[in-house]
Amino acid sequence: MVSLAGGLPAAELYPIAEIQAAAQRALAKHGTAALEYGPVEGLPALRALIAQRISTETGGLFSSANVMLTTGAMQGLDLIGKVLLDEGDTIVAQSPTYLGALDAWRPRMPVYKKLDWTAPDTDALRTCKFAYAVPNYSNPTGVLVGQVCRSALLNDVLESGTWLVEDDPYRSLQFEGDPGPTILERYVAEHPGPYNGPIIYLGTVSKTLVPGLRVGWIVAESNIIQALALAKMSTDLSSSMFTQAVAFELLEAGFDKVHAQTIAPVYRERRDALCHEAALRLSPWFEWEIPVGGMFVWMRAKGNAINTDELYQFALDENVAFVPSSVFDFSGEDCFGMRLNFTRNSPALLREGIERLERAIRKYVSR
């Protein structure tokens, strides 16, 4: 089976030796503090380091009170739902949307309204609990949202008085240059002083280092952090201080930034391999944009002629997997697209996967 389905990094690039060394330093330096139940908000040294980084990157003033560590950014999404959402509340979100967010918030049965970047719906923003966006190389579409659109959304969020959840796991996976300021950064540029804004920003080491440490973070105004910490307390008491201490050692040394420079060219090469092979084999039936970062290519069936929920079984029969668009659509109605991951497999395997996908499509259309 060639899986183009998951959202997984290239395992062969995991920095095992650096993590081994960091684990040794973590215990030597932090001692028993790395082995306790933590403060629920996370290892103080790592909270402070992230506050300092965000301050430097954005030019703002963030303290530890603005930072909470989580079991991956996914737990951040879950806790945000627990704290902000009542049953049936409205969320304004990009469509298609990250599946994990849909899963996390499903228990509250939210109503979704589509976020149109070119003309945000200010009425929807006024009545929603929060907006949710992945401006950098979104999942599943790989789209990089431009600065004009970011600015428009920020203005409308500020005007409407709602929250904006800015989920940013892919930022450092840049293939064609820097994507420019995050929405948080744009906000801070216009609102100097201690951070007190409506943006709830999610970060993680899952895509830049490894997912298995399960270290993510939420940056937000301190009242929100306190409410999220209360919710986390009744969920798991705290995340692992040990993995947070390991992450601290790696981030303090700046290793994540160095490692991103290793990863990005490999991922770019894989993106090219997949897109080139797809151009040769899949373009009679599908169209797509070449993503400038991240982990995914988002393909749309030309003329909605192929139902990807149905194609999926044909693909499995050819030993290749993708994720059909319906799972990313809050209405569940979009069944003419598919998400292909290009980071997990070698270029040769990616080409093999596309070849199998072509066979599956040919069988599907002549069924």
CB of 37 to a second copy, least distance (A): 4
Q: Which residue has the tokens 């801070």?
A: 188
- Contact set with a second copy (CB under 8 A): 8, 11-12, 14, 16, 19-20, 23-24, 27-28, 31-32, 34-38, 70-72, 74-75, 78, 82, 100, 103-104, 106-107, 206, 210-214, 233-243, 246
CB of 212 to a second copy, least distance (A): 4
Q: Based on CB atoms, which residue is closest to a second copy, 106 or 191?
A: 106
**Which three-class secondary structure state does DSSP give residue 45?**
helix
CB of 264 to a second copy, least distance (A): 19
CB of 166 to a second copy, least distance (A): 20
Q: Based on CB atoms, which residue is closest to a second copy, 139 or 182?
A: 139
Q: Based on CB atoms, which residue is closest to a second copy, 162 or 239?
A: 239
- C-alpha distances in angstroms, 284 versus 19, 136, 243, 275, 301? 45, 29, 47, 14, 9
Q: What 3 state SS string does 103-172 have?
A: HHHHHHCCEEEECCCCCCCHHHHHHCCEEEECCCCCCCCCCCCCHHHHHHHHHHHHHHCCEEEEECCCCC
CA distance 160 to 178: 30
CB of 27 to a second copy, least distance (A): 5
The pair of structure tokens assigned to 107 is 């228990």
Q: Based on CB atoms, which residue is closest to a second copy, 182 or 239?
A: 239
- C-alpha distances in angstroms, 340 versus 157, 214, 274, 279? 32, 24, 9, 14
**Which three-class secondary structure state does DSSP give residue 67?**
strand
CB of 15 to a second copy, least distance (A): 9
Task: Give the strand pairing for 2-3 and 320-321.
Answer: parallel
CA distance 211 to 241: 16
CB of 247 to a second copy, least distance (A): 10
CA distance 115 to 124: 9
CA distance 271 to 49: 33
DSSP 299: E
Q: Based on CB atoms, which residue is closest to a second copy, 18 or 168?
A: 18
Q: Based on CB atoms, which residue is closest to a second copy, 107 or 194?
A: 107
The pair of structure tokens assigned to 365 is 């259309």
Q: Based on CB atoms, which residue is closest to a second copy, 281 or 339?
A: 339
Neighbours of 221 (CB within 10 A): 18
CB of 341 to a second copy, least distance (A): 13
Q: Based on CB atoms, which residue is closest to a second copy, 160 or 244?
A: 244
72, 216 contact by CB (below 8 A) = yes
CB of 23 to a second copy, least distance (A): 4
Could you give the angle at which helices 16-30 and 255-281 cross, rounded to 10 degrees?
150
Q: Based on CB atoms, which residue is closest to a second copy, 187 or 330?
A: 330
